[in-house]
Each structure stands twice: as structure tokens, then as C-alpha cells.
Structure 1
């Protein structure tokens, strides 16, 4: 903490010095017009400080063509003006001293475009390789009618796994941010939100497989930041979307996105709701000595969800901006679960059967608050940012287990065994962070920051067993788990640009203090450790077409809070999961090399080595036939990933997005006292083809294939999928109706083999991969928009470790 207070004191001294010199400023105002003295509304006015041409401010003209810059320090300046359908214009040089400056009227001249010069064609995606991230310009992609999840699938190196979780460059565990702030959702909640977010509101996607030091070091796969569009002119705009689908059961969703800008105040609101009646089927075939057990689990969750985001930015003047963001989501769901297990002897004769019913009524929800402040210290580009966050997660479970045992002749063995569970969980996160940017010149910039966070978790499980006297508490199945964690972090980065080379390096230090207790096992957790996380990035623009990019980052992946809970939870009489309070964080070193020709990614090579790998290990009791999955630290894993492919136009009416990748995965670790070594080379390919037809019709055909691969202690079998889609754009390109049929041949099943020590299991997971959907989207209001103000809140890493 001494380091934290030391940095905070330095920042306060800096702010005090700024306040002394801050009064020596002036105001600049002026008007933009066209011929006939008609004011030009929504023109972009850029104020440049000379002689170094540093941007000192940017404004948008009002309905009378007026603009105004406040708190400008003395010096020499130039104004540049740009507007749609007008030629760009620069003002004469002028000097600012201590009095207000009125810039002479700036007149714009309209651009004359004849109809013959106008052509409508699909532009390929602009993919820019920056030193520390890949930026995809979604506004130049053909995404009308798509949702955010479908847009992500088109980004280079992005795939979805069996549960539609995001996989980036062959690695899972991606943190998703919206406008620089955490999405506040994980798993199915995040997937549902991305599906409800129309592509029309997305401006850019930033892919950071090796994020810079200004971001939390957590997350082995990196960060994706989705930047949304926001209102540029005064007034309101928005998007409305509705959808329905059917797999084995019906689904529906709807949402609205609104932006409203008054000039000084910019507000936005997003509300999404959904209904999902879904289906899952898990098949387990276990070989135990000379016997076999076949287990089939069916569960049918019905979810009614609602999520919202409300935010506002108040621009006090050109230098001071205050913001507030409120997020929330509620996901009540009921589940009808069924399980049927059959045991066979060596001659494959039935020896025993167990039927289980597990009706559930559960809820999960979260809400979050973010207060932020941005201070443009002076015209040189020095900026101070402050964020304060509070996030709360909660869930409750009410379950009833009814287990009926049968002999081989189907006669019942005794009375059914009944258990019920009333459980709850809560996570609270507090965070505060400071970020400071200091440009020393046009080509050299440094950044520094501090962050501190506090996390408090509580998980309660109470099982009751039905006896002849009524419901009796099952002490061996009841537990309260408490865990508290405090993380302090500080970082510094430096960026230096040369003529064709950009270098960026950084170092982040994180201190972790954690303690936890379990009432049933009397387990105590006491964690105290700190780590250093260096990063390095280099981008060489060989010429206007060829770019080489290199990245290095050290990352950490701390255990989910629930994985530290040592209590055992059964999903059926023979299958259970158990946490591990001795889990250590896994550490990885990642190296990436990328070569791009214009917007085409010719080659991407990634190398990652992870130690203390967190992975579930199955402990099987051959006598009771129980299998308990416990998260443990394995030795090490290695991943090498090579890929090529990007979207491009074969013809004006045919756009194709293709990717071919190859991976080498290896795991080396002692498992239950025996050395386990597994490695395999795998490959995958995907293609998506969009055909633009007359009268604004479009057809899409996509296919994907993945070969067998290594995943943890399992060997995953191959998968394949073919999708078809059609859409129609109408109402002056404001409305879209789209139809999609996913996994036409119902081949997208997740299959894996687990074989180590006495474990020999075949696992097959099926879900509603074959389904169709019909969606409608409509955009309204003033559609002249810009990217939202980027906010990176202080609870990114902590929220990624919350699991429902």
C-alpha cells in the first residue's frame, strides 16, 4: 500500500500545480457558414496548437454553425473544419493570449457529386494492425441484420465453442468490454446480450490477444473491446430489434437502443429482453474395470431475461467530462432435469438402473455503477482519468432431487431418495483507479496508473434429506463459504514512434491478498503474492501495403471464486463437482507475430506456454462408481497457433470471409501420481460467403470444420457445421428482416475422450445447434453518429472471475 499512497501523493501534487496555472487560459469561438451566410450544422471543428500540431480540442457546430473552445492556454493556433458533402477548410493562424478570441467566419464550399459518380458496392472490412491490438472497422462491413456475436465471428482469429463462448486464436477465457468497460456478464448472459445487440450500433472492434500494461493482467486469451456508435448531432437516434427462433423449443428476444445528445449532455439507454426455452443432452459412457455405466442427462432450462444499460456524459467544457454508467440484468429460470443411468457387467447384462428427477427454480442477477471523470490538463495532450466502480452479483437455487433405484428386472429398490437444496451466492466488487497520459512530443508518450479493488464473496448451500420424520438437514451436504480478496496494481507504459516503426513497452505490478473459510470442511485460505507483468509491442510498416507486428505479454489467470470453494455438489447420484482451496493462479507467456498485406492477414503465428494450468481432474471410485471433478493445477501446456485469412471481395456482389488455421497443443503434468503427456496437431477451416442480389436482397452460406484436438486432459473429436441465411433491406435502408438456419445437418456436437489412470469416459454434449431464427431491426432518428467515449472501468478482471 506504501507504493499506492506514494503515487497518489505525486498525482495530488501535480493537480495542485495544475490548479495554480489553470487560470491563465482564454476562450475561442467562431462560426462555420456556407454560401449565402447559411450556418453549417454538425461540422467537425479541430483546434491545433502550433508549431507541433498537437490537437487541443474538437467541437461540433450547433444549429447556428457556432463552436466554442474554453480554457485554452496562450500560444499560436489553427482551426480545421470538415463536414459531410463539403470541402475541408483551414483558418488563418491566430494567437491566443489572456483575452477571448473571435475567429473570423469560416466558409465551406459544397462538393458537387453527380449521380454517375455514385456507386453502391460492398467495401471489404478495414483491418488495422496497431502495435498492441487489431482494430476492425465494422462500419465498412456488410453486417446489416446481424447481431454483435455474428460480427465477432467475422473478426480474424475469432471462433465460438460448443456453448457459443468466444475463442480467440485457439484460446478460451476472453474478457469482453463494451466501450472500454466490462460487459458485466459472463457465459450465457454475455452470449444473450451480444445476440440482442444489433450490428448497426457497432463502430469498431478491438482485438487484444496480448493487452498492454494499462489493462488488468488477468485473462489468458486476452480482451475484446466493442466500441458502439453515439449521437454526433443534437437530437435522438436509436435501433429497435425483434427476433424469434425455434430449435426443439421456441425462443424470442427484443431490445431498444437510444442515444440523445443536447450538446453539453450526451445520454444513452439500452434495454434487451429475451425468452429462451432450450434443450441440452449429455451422454456419458464410463468403463469401470470390466463393467460399463451409461449415463444420459437431459435438462431443459426456461429463461426469462432482461438487461439494461443507462449512461450519461456531461461535458462541462473542452477539458472536463463527467460520466455515469448504470448496468443491470435479471435472469430467472426454471429447469426440468432428468437423469437415467444403466450399469452393465462384463457380459453386458444390466445390473442396476437409477432414474433421477431434478426440478429447479433459480435466479441470477447483477447490477453495477460506474462514476468517471476525464481531465484534459492542457493542449499538449496530458489527460487524467478517474474511475470508481461498484458491482454486485447474486444468485439463488431451489432444487429438488428424487432418485429411484431399480434392480435388473426393473423392480424398485426401497423408497426413492429425496433431497432438496436451498442455496444462494453473492459477490460484491469495489474498485478505484487513476490513469494518466503524458505526451513528451508528437512521437513519444508515457502512461501511468494505479488501481485497487476489494472483492467479497459468500456462497451458502443447505441440503435437506426426506426421512420418515420429515425433512432433516443433511449436515455433510451443507456449507457456507466466504472469500475476500484485495488486489493492488500499478503500471507504466511508453510509446515511441519513428518514421515506419512504432515501439511500445510496459510493466505492470499486481499484489494479491486473499483469505477464505469453509464452515463444513474448516478449510482456511490465505493468499499473499505479487507478480510483475511485462509487455512489449512493435509495428513495422515496411511500405504502404506490408505491415509486420510483434507482441509479447505475460498474463495471469486467477481461479474463479466458486472454484476455491471446497464443497462437493452432485448433479446426479454418480456425478459431482468440487472446488479446491489450494488452487494457484496459472501464468502464461505469449508471443505473437503477424504479417499483413493491406487489409489481408497473410500470416498470424502465436506461441503460448502456461504453467500451473487450471483444469478439472476426475477422481473415480470404482466401488461406488462415483466420479468427482476437482479443479487442479496441472504442470504446463503449450499452444502454437498459425492462421491465415481475412474478408475480401471476389466480385462486387460476392464477399467471402475465409480462415484456415493449424494448432499444436501439448499438456505435460503429473495426474494423481502418474505422469500424463498428450499432444496433437489439429486444423480448422471456416468460410462465409455473402451474395448481394438486386433490390437489396442478400444470401449467406457458411461452413466450418474442426479436426480432432487436445483440450486439457481430453481429446476432442471433430466437428462440422453448415449455415444458411437470407435478408432483405427496405424502408430506405432503415429496416432489415433476416432469416437464418444454423447447423442444417445437425452435426455440431461436442465429443471428447477422457482416458487417464482408472478414468475411461466418452463424453457427448448435444444442444439446439440446428435451429432457425427470424429477426427484424429498424433504425430511426438522426443517424449521423460517432464512436462512444471510451471508458475502461476498474472491475474488468474481477467480474471475469464470477461464474453463476
Structure 2
């Protein structure tokens, strides 16, 4: 059916496409022009006249923003290539030296090279007793347009998972019980890995992050208000997880990591990263294996009716599980001269989960007398494979910054779960009241994504530029749910719970984005157009939902640089969230004998208008106030069906969100730094569902505190904690939660190796708890999991440890994969 309208639906196997594209990119690049360019170069020396090796160099614009980065070689030399005309300064930083900045200089169009006078780096002997101060990026780094979590620099993050790292991120709430992630109090955050949306359901995104080892992550970016060059998806913004990648300086380097942990059950992790560069060729790859045993428990009570008709069902659930996870990445970049570079990249993950779910339901009458016990044992297995491939070419046309980038991507996610359920029914005396029920559920799903995009940058003089681009993505989702009951003649399909669902979606988009600087003012505005054609087909129910719509998404940003230390900014953007593919699937998934989840094929997209004003001091202290109005809010709800609870997803009328965010780094001493942050938000629902008025209004807060210490004898330490106050989500009202974690790190063998020890949730305070007042039903729950874990991790670095990382590139599917069900 998708072949009738998709312009790329008839493409051959995506592996053939990648090979053909890679061949054509390399062939075309051979013939690319290799013109002259403006270079800025210089040398850094210390007070003794010796060159400073491997110093971090930054080319700064007049507004102190970074234009380019570089690293000095063994002779202290550095080079910035392809520099546009304008006025700049050069800054150098290096451990053991004070930061040094050059005098301003001008780059003109008629120049081929600019030589900066030598920079003199003075030694920085910051010591306190035997405490040696070392420089590294903080775990939480506040930039004007985003917040960056430098995961590889965090002692506490070592040996954990991506989900555990996000729990400590400012403004992020991870709800493990309901498997959702919010950013600054807002739902439907687009989660990406290496700039690629995962295209998973909200539940599968959480599972993916739960099974992604933190040792494989370089940074996590929190982008609350993206520009028009990004896809319009993501009501609350974007969470982009950047996995570790290679280097682009000469030579070979790498690292090996091994670690283990224990809470109530064991965990283990191991990983290897290797990078190599020779001439214009850069190769990189990494592999990580993660083994972890887990457990989770829930105590939930549902009360139906009132008075003499009151019935209570208490659910006691326990879920021990074992996960085995493999993640990998491999790629190559090649530079044809100084203007053209091409690259290919492959990354993926293989996850296997085995769980034994024990769900005991105790049924009580109005007098509190036990009437019946219904127990369901579920031997559950779940396998997921995710594979993505990217081919990329970037070409600079001249020395003014005019460049073109083209990406071609294919990605596939395959999920193979199976539930084997055995349900027994006994009365208060333990006597069987009905025969045992044996069922199984096989809901395999496959999501395939094909995408292509092109981005063009065209400078307009020294202080303005235009950016334009286009993108097309074609996504197919195949979910074939088979629910069967064992009878005397074998397993028989249950027609009420068996459903084959196909979903095809094509999105074509184009954008134009312009920016200009006027003295202390910077203005950026853009418009993005996206056309969506989707077709949902329930083969079993013979139900088809066909949608075709075009939307415009404007964005505007204004920045005022009052001085090098003070910056003001304001922004507006309009965004969309399309329903996740699994949310559209009308199949029924049994959670326990009294609870099931059902999809909604008639879900509509939700739209958000986002406004924000902010202030930044010295590039670190940040304060922002935002207002977001969302219509047709996609929200999970619980709908009582007698004594059974039906969970589904619907469109509610509207949600207003106001958020105040504050980040304030404090340098108490030379060896002690505190980075507190606060996100205070107000959520107000204006909706009605099932005859119930949902006008919930709640003032909530997310508070984080990260402290870092530089200790004697090469030790460093971290102490981090967070607190989430009570908050509201649709019908649910959640109680507060929080935790405190600690970690210590020791460098060995002239920093060639590192040992890290950390303990998460030191006080064992983490839990999920909440309640909901539904029509004729009251729900209360408390859930716990293995949040307190002690971990030991050892990392050894080999080869040249002073290499720069490879160029970061955004691929063509990075804004799609987050909807195999974003949050």
C-alpha cells in the first residue's frame, strides 16, 4: 500500500543502497575541487621557551562564541582551516598552565594565511597541600543553546546505564514504573542516539536506554528549543545521546574497560575502543558488552465501587530479570584534500532479556475479607536488534564558509518478545475455583527507516548567513501480535487479542534559516515545512486510517551580548509530536489478570508553541523562563472496565507548562566545585475524559546537585543527588522521589589507567509512588527496583592519548528514530 504514494518505497534492500551510495560518494569526491583556503596558525610556548604539546585551542569570535577548535602538535603548532573573514581571538588551555588569549586580529577575504603571534603559556601551580588541581569538563556543562552531560568524565556514571545517567540530569524525570521520560515537566521528548531517532515506543525507548551501558557514551545533549534546521518533532525538545567515537589526529589509540557491580544481584561490563588515522583516512570502532541481573517490585491497590459494593484488588508483583547487551560502532572518514570529506558509519545493539514475572492479585470484599487469589506467572523473553548505517559527504566550495552536507541513512529495529503466562485461581482457603489458564503472547515487530537529507550553508558577508535544507524519510512498521490460549487440542488464537498491524509513513520536509549579527545583537529566524502521509492498517480488523497533512513550523531567536560576561536571549518555536507507532496499534497486551494495555489507531498529532527568555553569565550561570502551550495532548490514561483496568493513549484538549530553570556553578575552593540546578514548573491540564474533568494543576520541581573534589595523590571524587517533588501527569499524581550517589576515581601509571568506585542511591531512597482518582475507581501504587548498586570499573588507555575526536555529524534519520516511540 505504501508503494502507491511513497517516492522511495520501491528502493531495493537497504544494504545495497548503502553500498551503492558509499561508492558514489567516494567517486564524486575524487573529482571535487581542491581550492585554496584561509588558514589561521600559530605556536604556543611556555616561559622556558619550550613548545606546549597537545594544548586545547579555540578560535573565538568577537562575541566570545567558539568558531573552531584545534590541538597543538608536539612542536606546539596549531592550525585552524577554512576560516571565514572576520575578527577573532585565539585561546589556549592546557592542564598545568594558565589560560592564555591572543589579541584580536582580522581575517580578510584576500588572505590565504594568517599567522598569530606566539602565545606564552604560564605555569599554573594551583596546589593545596598535596592536592593537585587538574582540568576537565564538568559532568553538567551549561551552554547557551543546550545542556551537555559529559558522561565519560563522570565518576558516578561509570559502570551504569544511559537511563541511570538521565536520572541525574537537570530537568529530566525518568518514570521507570510507567516507562516514560519528561524534560522540564513536559512529555514527548525526542530521544536520539548519535543524532538518530530510535523509532521505538515510549516503553521500548526506556528499555533501550536501560540496556545501553554508560561506558559507551561520550555526552548527552539536552536541547529544549531546537531551530528550524532540526525536525519539528519533540514537544519537550531533544535528548541526544552521543556514543564514543574515534579520533582524527595521526596515529593509533584506544581504551579497554572492565568492571563489575553488585546490589542484590550481580552486574558486569567490558568494552574496547580503537581509533586510527593515517593521512586523510580515519578509522574508528568500539564494542561494549553488558551483563546485569535486575529485579523490580510493585504493590498496587485498586478499589472499585463504594459501600457494600466495594471491591479491592491488591497486586503484588515481583520481576527478577537478566539482561545481556552488545553495543557496537564502526566507521571511516576520508578527506580528499582540504575541502571534501566523506564517511560511512555502522552502529547497532543486540539486547536479550529473560524475566520471571510473578503477579499475585488478592481480591477483597467490602469488609476486607479475602475472597480470591489470582496468580499469574509469566516466563518472558525479549530480544531486540537495532542496526543503523550512514553514508555522508561534506564539501566546502570556497573560503567564505559556503558548504554542502549530504546524508543517506537506513536503520532497522527488530523486536522479538514472547510471554508464556500461567494463571491460577484459588479461594480464601486455597481451593481451586476454576481451571488453570495457560496462554502465550507473541508480538514481534519490525521498524525500517530510510532517509536522505541535504543541508547547505551560504554566508552573506561577514555577519550574516543563510541555511537551507531538505529531507525525506520513509518508515514502515510491521507488528504481528498473536495471542493464544492452550486447549485440549493445542494453542488456539484469541481473536480479541490477536492483530496484524501495518504502518507506513512518509515525511518530506524543507527549511530555510537565516541569521545576522548587528553589533551586540544576533538574530536568527527560520521556517520549516513538513508534509506527512501516513497509513495505518489493522489487517486483522480490516481497519484503515489514512492521513495526509502539511504543517509550517516557524522559529525565531534573538540574542543580546551586553558584554563578554552577560548574554540575554529569547526564542519562539512551533513543534509537532506524531503518535508513536505502537500507540497506534489497536492490539491488546495483557499486563496482569486485571490490567491490560490497548493501542488507539485514531490518535492525532499534538502541537506545541514554545516561548523562552534567558540570561547567561560568563557562559556558565544560566537562568531561563519558558512557557509552552500544547493542544491535542497525547496522554496515557486508565479506563476502568468493571474490575479490570484498561490502559490506553488518547488526545486531551490542552496543557499549559511554565518552567523556571536555574543553573549556578560555584567554585568554593580550588579543589571543590558545586553545580546546583533547579527546574520549577507548573503543569495545568484543561481536558475531559470519560466524563471526568481533568483540570489538574500542580507546581513541581526537579533539583539536582553535583559536587566534584580534587583530592591528594591523584584522587578525584563526586557527590551527586537529585530530588523530584510531587507532580501530575494526565490522571496520575506522583509522589516525590530522590537519591544520593558517590564516586571516587584514581589515576594510575601517568594517567594511562583509571580506577573508579561508585555507589548509586547510597541511602536507598528511590521508589516510584502515586495515585489516581478514576470514575468509580481509586488506584494507589508503590514500586521499587535495584537502585542501590556498588560498582568497580578499570580503564586502560593505550597509544596516543592526545588525539582529537572525529567530526560529529547529524544523519538523515536522527529525528525519526525517536518515534519508534518517543516520549
- 1:704-747 deviation digits (Å, cap 9, x = unpaired): 32222111211111223222322322222232222222223322
Q: Which residue of 1 aligns with 2:639?
A: 619
Distance 1:136 1:306, change over 3 A: closer
Q: Which residue of 1 aligns with 2:133?
A: 120
Distance 1:501 1:157, change over 3 A: farther
The alignment status of 1:174 with 2:174, answered yes or no, reads no
The alignment status of 1:575 with 2:588, answered yes or no, reads no
**Alpha-carbon shift at residue 23 of structure 1 (Å):** 6.8
- Counterpart CA distance in 2 for 1:465 and 1:778 is 53
2:224 to 167, 184, 209: 209
Counterparts of residues 748-763 of structure 1 (less than 5 Å):
748-763=766-781
Distance 1:553 1:182, change over 3 A: same
Q: Which residue of 2 aligns with 1:235?
A: 251
- Please say if residues 87 and 111 of structure 1, whose CA atoms lie closer than 8 Å, have aligned partners that are also in contact: no
The alignment status of 1:771 with 2:789, answered yes or no, reads yes
**Alpha-carbon shift at residue 689 of structure 1 (Å):** 2.5
The alignment status of 1:651 with 2:669, answered yes or no, reads yes
- Please say if residues 123 and 141 of structure 1, whose CA atoms lie closer than 8 Å, have aligned partners that are also in contact: no
Distance 1:614 1:45, change over 3 A: closer
Q: Which residue of 2 aligns with 1:273?
A: 289
**Alpha-carbon shift at residue 327 of structure 1 (Å):** 1.1
**Alpha-carbon shift at residue 291 of structure 1 (Å):** 1.3
Q: Which residue of 2 aligns with 1:798?
A: 816
Q: Mean Cα displacement is larger for which, 761-770 or 480-489?
A: 761-770
Q: Which residue of 1 aligns with 2:575?
A: 555
Distance 1:785 1:670, change over 3 A: same
- Please say if residues 220 and 556 of structure 1, whose CA atoms lie closer than 8 Å, have aligned partners that are also in contact: yes
- Counterpart CA distance in 2 for 1:459 and 1:190 is 22
1:792 match: secondary structure: coil
Distance 1:247 1:134, change over 3 A: closer
The alignment status of 1:596 with 2:633, answered yes or no, reads no
Q: Which residue of 2 aligns with 1:687?
A: 705
Structural RMSD (CA):
4.2
- Please say if residues 754 and 761 of structure 1, whose CA atoms lie closer than 8 Å, have aligned partners that are also in contact: yes
**Alpha-carbon shift at residue 354 of structure 1 (Å):** 0.6
- Counterpart CA distance in 1 for 2:787 and 2:491 is 41
1:402 to 422, 442, 447: 422
The alignment status of 1:609 with 2:629, answered yes or no, reads yes
Counterparts of residues 439-454 of structure 1 (less than 5 Å):
439-454=459-474
Q: Which residue of 1 aligns with 2:340?
A: 320
- Counterpart CA distance in 1 for 2:89 and 2:228 is 35
- Please say if residues 382 and 416 of structure 2, whose CA atoms lie closer than 8 Å, have aligned partners that are also in contact: yes
- 1:108-163 deviation digits (Å, cap 9, x = unpaired): 96857568589725578595644x44567889988895878577667654454447
- Please say if residues 54 and 76 of structure 2, whose CA atoms lie closer than 8 Å, have aligned partners that are also in contact: yes
- Counterpart CA distance in 2 for 1:184 and 1:264 is 34
- Counterpart CA distance in 1 for 2:326 and 2:635 is 32
Counterparts of residues 684-763 of structure 1 (less than 5 Å):
684-763=702-781
- 1:23-74 deviation digits (Å, cap 9, x = unpaired): 7956999999999xx99998999999xxxxxx9999999999999999999x
- Please say if residues 126 and 670 of structure 2, whose CA atoms lie closer than 8 Å, have aligned partners that are also in contact: no
- 1:552-593 deviation digits (Å, cap 9, x = unpaired): 111111111011111112122211000000000111111112
- Counterpart CA distance in 2 for 1:34 and 1:589 is 48
1:187 to 174, 198, 206: 206
- Please say if residues 39 and 82 of structure 2, whose CA atoms lie closer than 8 Å, have aligned partners that are also in contact: no
- Please say if residues 560 and 801 of structure 1, whose CA atoms lie closer than 8 Å, have aligned partners that are also in contact: yes
- Please say if residues 254 and 274 of structure 1, whose CA atoms lie closer than 8 Å, have aligned partners that are also in contact: yes
- Counterpart CA distance in 2 for 1:95 and 1:604 is 38
Q: Mean Cα displacement is larger for which, 711-720 or 86-95?
A: 86-95
- Counterpart CA distance in 2 for 1:92 and 1:655 is 37
Distance 1:739 1:427, change over 3 A: same
The alignment status of 1:460 with 2:480, answered yes or no, reads yes
Q: Mean Cα displacement is larger for which, 539-548 or 698-707?
A: 698-707
- Please say if residues 71 and 804 of structure 2, whose CA atoms lie closer than 8 Å, have aligned partners that are also in contact: no
1:190 match: secondary structure: helix
- Counterpart CA distance in 2 for 1:441 and 1:284 is 64
Distance 1:415 1:615, change over 3 A: same
Q: Mean Cα displacement is larger for which, 81-90 or 737-746?
A: 81-90
- Counterpart CA distance in 2 for 1:598 and 1:79 is 17
1:507 match: secondary structure: strand
Q: Mean Cα displacement is larger for which, 705-714 or 628-637?
A: 705-714
Distance 1:541 1:127, change over 3 A: farther
- Please say if residues 175 and 219 of structure 1, whose CA atoms lie closer than 8 Å, have aligned partners that are also in contact: yes
- Please say if residues 170 and 703 of structure 2, whose CA atoms lie closer than 8 Å, have aligned partners that are also in contact: no
**Alpha-carbon shift at residue 774 of structure 1 (Å):** 1.7
Q: Which residue of 1 aligns with 2:279?
A: 263
- Counterpart CA distance in 2 for 1:662 and 1:33 is 47
- Counterpart CA distance in 2 for 1:469 and 1:82 is 77
- Counterpart CA distance in 2 for 1:78 and 1:745 is 50
Counterparts of residues 247-396 of structure 1 (less than 5 Å):
247-289=263-305, 290-396=310-416
**Alpha-carbon shift at residue 775 of structure 1 (Å):** 1.7
Distance 1:123 1:724, change over 3 A: closer
2:329 match: secondary structure: strand
Distance 1:156 1:282, change over 3 A: closer
- Please say if residues 127 and 599 of structure 1, whose CA atoms lie closer than 8 Å, have aligned partners that are also in contact: no
1:413 match: secondary structure: strand
Distance 1:67 1:348, change over 3 A: closer
Q: TM-score, normalised by structure 2?
A: 0.83
1:785 match: secondary structure: coil
- Counterpart CA distance in 2 for 1:504 and 1:407 is 69
1:196 match: secondary structure: helix
**Alpha-carbon shift at residue 479 of structure 1 (Å):** 1.6
- Please say if residues 444 and 480 of structure 2, whose CA atoms lie closer than 8 Å, have aligned partners that are also in contact: yes
**Alpha-carbon shift at residue 260 of structure 1 (Å):** 1.3
Gaps of 5+ in 2: 9-27, 61-65
The alignment status of 1:564 with 2:584, answered yes or no, reads yes
- Counterpart CA distance in 2 for 1:110 and 1:542 is 28
The alignment status of 1:411 with 2:424, answered yes or no, reads no
Q: Which residue of 1 aligns with 2:508?
A: 488
- Please say if residues 56 and 379 of structure 1, whose CA atoms lie closer than 8 Å, have aligned partners that are also in contact: no
Distance 1:179 1:457, change over 3 A: closer
2:696 match: secondary structure: strand
The alignment status of 1:783 with 2:801, answered yes or no, reads yes
1:304 match: secondary structure: strand
2:262 to 246, 263, 269: 246
Name the structure, 1 or 2, with higher relative contact order (CA <8 Å, separation 6+).
2
- Counterpart CA distance in 2 for 1:626 and 1:635 is 26
- 1:170-208 deviation digits (Å, cap 9, x = unpaired): 33443344554557883232343351226xx55xx6432
Q: Which residue of 1 aligns with 2:12?
A: none
Counterparts of residues 95-106 of structure 1 (less than 5 Å):
none
1:220 to 235, 239, 251: 235
**Alpha-carbon shift at residue 306 of structure 1 (Å):** 0.2
Q: Mean Cα displacement is larger for which, 160-169 or 672-681?
A: 160-169
2:697 match: secondary structure: strand
1:400 match: secondary structure: strand
- Please say if residues 87 and 109 of structure 1, whose CA atoms lie closer than 8 Å, have aligned partners that are also in contact: no
